[in-house]
């Protein structure tokens, strides 16, 4: 288990990923990048955007909170850099509404890149209308507490499902779900995703011209 530490006192305001790389990642999408990276990094399928039009791409700023306690999420909003994606583990306390209109406004004002939380959110009518991307495990009205004696657990590895997310990993999300790409492999995965997309476009054109998927992929004859 990772020991609690104090939050970082100062962080660079510069994202580790170039803006054009983030734009390419967002355009390619979570499913393509998951496959292109070797089928890694897929977060649990229950984690979806509050509104299906929401998309995000940016470096992970990780947060771990005790179940049903959201104080350190408030604090993380002001520790994270513009463009960072808050990645929140809730210590298996999924059934609570950790995030709502007030925190959404604060994160948007700070210029953060989005939220991915292994727990519930509320005020979803307002969240859906806002521009800030929110991805959660569901909608829950159960309130949270503020544990003022809880030590900080910011910018440490956090596990969501069977994926361990490290600070700075590339997070990409859309209506299909969320993928986590290790920072050192992000550019490689995006380049592979581009090649995959181009190959799929060629295959789709051939299918529309009358070819069969069985032949394109070498799957053999139909079952008889």
Span 167-214, pLDDT tens digits: 999 999 999 999 999 999 999 999 999 999 999 999 999 999 999 999
Where is the binding site, in residues? 100-103, 122-123
Average pLDDT over residues 212-224: 83
Check whether 8 has a pLDDT greater than 70.
no
pLDDT, position 4: 44
Rounded Cα–Cα distance for residues 151 and 19 (Å):
34
Rounded Cα–Cα distance for residues 43 and 34 (Å):
10
pLDDT, position 14: 61
39 contact partners, CB below 8 Å, separation of at least 6: none
Domains of the chain, CATH where assigned: 19-216 (3.50.30.40)
Taking only the tens place, the pLDDT of each residue in 94-122 is 999 999 999 999 999 999 999 999 999 99
Check whether 2 has a pLDDT greater than 80.
no
Rounded Cα–Cα distance for residues 49 and 45 (Å):
11
* Average pLDDT value for the chain: 93
Average pLDDT over residues 16-29: 96
E strand segments, the chain: 48-49, 56-64, 85-89, 114-117, 120-121, 134-136, 138-139, 158-160, 163-165, 170-174, 177-181
Average pLDDT over residues 28-51: 98
Check whether 83 has a pLDDT greater than 50.
yes
Helix, strand, coil % over all residues of the chain, rounded to 5: 30, 20, 45
Where is the binding site for substrate, in residues? 100-103, 122-123
Average pLDDT over residues 80-90: 98
């Amino acid at each position: 288990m990772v020991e609690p530490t104090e939050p970082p006192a100062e962080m660079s305001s510069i994202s580790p990923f170039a803006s054009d790389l983030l734009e390419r990642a967002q355009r390619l999408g979570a499913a393509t990048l998951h496959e292109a990276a070797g089928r890694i990094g897929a977060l649990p399928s229950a984690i979806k955007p509050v509104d299906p039009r929401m998309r995000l791409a940016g470096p992970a700023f990780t947060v771990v909170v005790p179940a049903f306690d959201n104080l350190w999420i408030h604090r993380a909003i002001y520790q994270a850099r513009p463009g960072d994606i808050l990645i929140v583990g809730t210590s298996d306390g999924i059934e609570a509404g950790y995030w709502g209109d007030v925190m959404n406004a604060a994160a948007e004002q700070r210029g953060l890149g989005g939220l991915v939380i292994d727990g519930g959110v509320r005020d979803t009518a307002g969240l859906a209308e806002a521009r800030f991307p929110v991805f959660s495990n569901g909608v829950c009205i159960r309130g949270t507490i503020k544990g003022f004696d809880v030590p900080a657990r910011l910018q440490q590895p956090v596990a969501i499902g069977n994926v361990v997310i490290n600070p700075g990993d590339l997070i990409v999300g859309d209506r299909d779900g969320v993928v986590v790409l290790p920072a050192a492999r992000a550019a490689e995965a995006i380049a592979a995703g581009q090649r995959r997309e181009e190959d799929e476009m060629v295959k789709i054109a051939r299918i529309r011209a009358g070819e069969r998927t069985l032949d394109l992929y070498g799957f053999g004859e139909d079952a008889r």
